[in-house]
Structure 1
Amino acid sequence: MQKIQNFINGEYIDPIKGNYIDNVDPGTGKVFASIPNSTQEDLEKAVSASQCAFPEWSSMAADKRSRILHKLADLIEDNLEELARMESRDNGKPFWLAKAVDIPRASANFRFYASAIVNFSSEAQVSEGFMVNYTRRAPLGTVGCISPWNLPLYLFSWKIAPALAMGNCVIAKPSELTPMTAYMLGELSKEAGMPAGVLNILHGEGKGIGQAIVEHTATKAISFTGGTATGKIVGATASQQFKKVSLELGGKNPNIVFSDCDLEEAVKTSVKSSFTNQGEICLCGSRILIEDAIYDEFKEKFVKECQKLVVGDPSDDNSNLGALVSESHLQKVDSYVKLAIEEGGRILHGGNRIEKDGFYYEPTVIEGLDENCRTNLEEIFGPVVTLNRFKDENEAIRISNSTRYGLSCTIWTSDLKRAHRVSHAVQSGIIWVNCWLVRDLRTPFGGMKDSGIGREGGNEALRFFSEPQNVCIKL
């Protein structure tokens, strides 16, 4: 059984107190590795390393930092197969999905910010013959980055890449459920030429080492992606020290299908937006709202496509869905399906655990639920979607905005004016029209309401991991 280590000051080291927790393969339900359950002592070691590294890293020329990050992106691409297999085993997602999406996007994250940092412009205001003011962006120092289990390396890199690009040192904690690709990233960062102490990776439980990172006075900003309940704790803790905080939290996203849509494309993409990564993506369209005129036709085609989905071994390229991340998460998903039945829902497809080793669940489609029931309002984060009717545009908007979440929304229509109207009326930070999960790293990313605060992506991330510093020179 593999035993992994923390990555501190450019070296892999055991946790100081010698505490470990099991890492379970979701595809088999068996323990295959043990990971450090880090403590305050490990954090102090990482803080010391980052503070020693900060003067060199922050003063390094931007183009040199850029070359190191580009090299790290290259190394991720060079190790694509191994990283994808690690992530598939760690997370339960199909290997082909990790290879096609997660790992390439992790490499793209580093490459984007490696380029962005040498193209990031400062501002200057000139008062002729009197003074010049210019504003530079100063790195913060040591920052904490805490990432979730659903897209392990993709979201891990999404946080640390802009932080490193701006000259900060990072103490990062991947999810204790999916630590393996972050573990490997330590060695790759060293191979890329990153100075010791710039990137430190601590493993362990969120309530332990995660909370300690948030609380530590040395961490000047916290970037957290995870559940809304945990996000509230992170935000409240960080606010006590007036730290900068970015929270990307849960979603209960509407997928609005108008009768003038391209029905075939809407059905095909809605299946993907419902069940990709076993539905364990905060951006999945778990509430499908369908205009009355095409409800029955959409339902028939959608269920027919769902029946073709194969749930199986993550290493099998024929598997459309793999395993859920853990036994406890599978039980949570199943409890919501049972709740939906109690609330009057009708199961059109799925609704059962698949009886085999590992944590597998059928893609599940439910109709007939009241728009205000718990199943329609609470985040399930699994392969479960509800079908809901609406009669007109106003009703679609009202139902879409009825939850406490506001992360993303997908709209299907051929009417350009309607696309703009509905996009502006829906309370979501991200709107896709006639597509889903199409991303441009230059754009801000984040949610409204209980889906979080702050924005990641593009220059928003670079600004988050820096402070404006104004310099006034009298002429």
Structure 2
Amino acid sequence: MTLRLSQLIGGQARPALSEAWLDVHEPATGTRYALCPDADGEDVAAAFEAAQAAFPAWSTLPPSERARWLDRLADALETRIDDFAAAESRDAGKPLALARDVEIPRAVANLRFFAAAATQFASESHHGQAGLNYTLRQPLGVVGCISPWNLPLYLFTWKIAPALAAGNCVIGKPSEVTPVTAWMLGELAREIGFPSGVLNIVQGLGPKVGQAIVDHPGIKAISFTGSTAVGTRIATSCAGNLKKVSLELGGKNATIVFADAPRTQLFETLLRSAFQNSGQICLCGSRLLIERSAYAEVRDELVARAKKLHVGDPLDAGNQQGALVSKAHHEKVMGHIDLARAEGGKLLCGGNAVQPPGRCEGGWFIAPTIIEGLGPYTRTNSEEIFGPVLTLQAFDDEDEALALANATPYGLAASLWTSDLRRAHRLAGRIDAGIVWINTWLERDLRTPFGGMKQSGLGREGGQEALRFFTETKNVCLNLG
């Protein structure tokens, strides 16, 4: 049977007011399996009314009470990890183990972290210079949280949790490509009696629902994760009425490997950083820069390991790589591989679509692809591909490594591999990236600021940065006489 999703508006499960629907496909099979509400601005307006009505009570709850509700939601999600993981795997085409062991637990951790953070979010006071000053950090009101398709529940909770913890009411929009786990979270919120109107989830297309959220005059802030092109349009829209905006956008991240890189876990981590979730993570290292004296060793070992990665049915525990999220995205990535060939790149492995036998023969799979022989300013090394495609470039010294790392319009993340920690610290300070890992990848302390430079976004998420974004700062000064 076709699964029929709903929206969460004012604590109620609702279809789109237009009663229109969007098809949801299973990437591993290429077949439709669900219907998603095709909402529009009228649904956003209804969600805003519900959120606005709920705001006075929610915003004046003690932080400990808001934390209690977030913890209750986390508890409920934790008891259903297997159900949510199965849904995430089916909806996004990713290996079941990745969803079960990493992504759904991270969604639980997001809720728990910001529940605790709500009780520790302190204001400042200043005295002795000009009276007594204290700073209030007050919730904004109704805010919009727009999340992407690649890490559906992981990034949806990463946005809504700090917004709710800070005392705002939320209109959340998950991607229409992967809407199922956000719908399930809404159903979970209803089951535990989450306060009506505090969390609203509107389903539908970006140009209709997303733009309506961005343009609504009563919505005070927008937190968006997605492509740079869409983020630029959102920033332009928000500029017209000076609406707060946080943008976590694309990346073309460099992984820099020096000849003295510690070999323990090196190749396993390089492989994971390039191909986890079929390369559909904004933090993936899609450009591997290798010191020339170690180039052949690193290249040959990495290619040998990439060829052994099993691509196929996400439900099969023996497969490390699943499908790409949609037919359109599959075609886009294959087009980039063709472009790499046209630009003179040499394919060392992959470069082809994969058709697993059985139920997944119609799915959208691509073999792990490694390419060498392209310069830093080719389109292949400049444009975000967002798939299982890794390029290799050699460098001779530290300055050249830095120049290659920064030869991109993006600036989200980078990884450095070296045994020389002075060199690591020097380069970390000079790389144009908001996040730099040294001898590791994707280790995340949720207290730290997260975000990018250049075309990778505006603002920072995580920890106190997120709570500050979702609040308005007000200074109160008392003359002491």
- For the superposition of Structure 1 and Structure 2, which TM-score range results when normalised by the shorter chain? over 0.9
1:221-232 superposed matches below 5 A: 221-232=221-232
SS, match of residue 440 in structure 1: coil
Check the 8 A contact 1:257/1:266 in 2, yes or no. Answer: no
Cα deviations across residues 169-216 of structure 1 (Å, max 9, x unaligned)?
Answer: 000100000000100111222334421000000000001110110000
Kindly indicate whether the alpha-carbon contact (under 8 Å) linking 1:278 and 1:382 is maintained by their aligned counterparts in 2.
yes
Alignment of 1:312-323 (within 5 A): 312-323=312-323
Which secondary structure does the structure 2 equivalent of 1:320 belong to?
coil
| Post-superposition offset of 1:40 | 1.3
SS at 1:439's partner residue?
coil
Partner of 1:379: 384
- RMSD (Å), alpha carbons: 1.0
The answer to whether residue 98 in structure 2 is matched with residue 123 in structure 1 is: no
The TM-score normalised by the length of structure 2 is 0.97
Q: Which residue pairs with 1:252 in the alignment?
A: 252
Distance 2:406 2:126 in 1: 42
Query: Which of residues 395, 401, 413 is equivalent to 2:400?
Result: 395
**1:28-82 superposed Cα distances (whole Å, 9 cap, x missing partner):** 1000001011011111110100000000000011111111111111111111000
In the other structure, the counterpart of 2:349 is 349
Letter in 2 for 1:51: Q
- Whether 1:436 and 2:472 are equivalent positions in the alignment is no
SS at match of 1:263: coil
Show CA shifts across 1:67-118 (max 9, x none). Answer: 1111111111111000001100000000100001110000100100100110
Question: Residues of 2 paired with 1:28 and 1:461: CA distance?
Answer: 38
The one-letter amino acid of 2:11's match is G
Task: Kindly report structure 1 stretches of 4+ aligned residues shifted beyond 6 Å.
Answer: none
Match of 2:286 in 1: 286
Deviation at 1:425, TM superposition (A): 1.0
Are the equivalent residues in 2 in contact too, given 1:263–1:298 (CA < 8 A)? no
Partner letter of residue 370 of structure 2?
A: V
d(CA) in 2 for partners of 1:126 and 1:412? 47
Matches within 5 A, 1:415-430: 415-430=420-435
Q: Which residue identity does 2:242 align to in structure 1?
A: F
How many Å separate the matches in 1 of 2:176 and 2:158?
18
Show the counterpart of 1:474. 479
Give the counterpart letter for 1:302 in structure 2. Answer: L
Identity of aligned residues (%): 53
Q: Does 1:101 align with 2:70?
A: no
Instruction: Trace 1:21-420 onto structure 2 (pairs within 5 A).
Output: 21-127=22-128, 131-355=131-355, 356-420=361-425
Counterparts of 1:101 and 1:254, CA distance in 2: 23
Shift of 1:307: 1.2
Following the alignment from structure 2 to structure 1, what is the Cα–Cα distance between the partners of residues 319 and 223? 33
How far did 1:263 drift?
A: 2.9
CA positional deviation for 1:474? 3.4
Give the Cα separation in 1 of the matches to 2:167 and 2:191: 19
SS in 1 for 2:309: coil
- Corresponding residue for residue 9 of structure 2: 8
Shift of 1:264: 4.7
Using the alignment, how far apart are the partners of 2:213 and 2:154 within structure 1?
Answer: 21
SS at match of 2:265: helix
After superposition, give the CA deviation of every residue in 1:110-139 in whole Å (9 maximum; x if it has no partner).
1001001101111112239x8421111100
Q: 2:470 aligned with 1:465, yes or no?
A: yes
- Alpha-carbon distance between aligned partners in 2 of 1:316 and 1:228, rounded to the nearest angstrom: 34
Shift of 1:262: 1.4
The answer for unaligned runs of 5 or more in structure 2 is 356-360
Contact 1:280 1:382 in 2 (8 A): yes
Other structure's SS at 2:468 match:
helix
Q: Secondary structure at the match of 1:386?
A: strand
Q: Is the 8 A contact 1:24 1:33 kept in 2?
A: yes
Equivalent-residue separation in structure 2 for 1:200 and 1:392 (angstroms) = 52
Measure the CA separation in 1 of the matches of 2:238 and 2:191: 33
Q: Which residue in 1 is equivalent to 2:358?
A: none
CA distance in structure 2 between the aligned counterparts of 1:13 and 1:453, rounded to whole angstroms: 34
- Taking the aligned partners of 2:342 and 2:194, their CA distance within structure 1 comes to 55
Residues of 1 paired with 2:124 and 2:8: CA distance?
37
List runs of 5+ in structure 1 lacking aligned partners: none
After alignment, is 385-394 or 119-128 more displaced? 119-128
> TM-score w.r.t. structure 1 length?
0.98
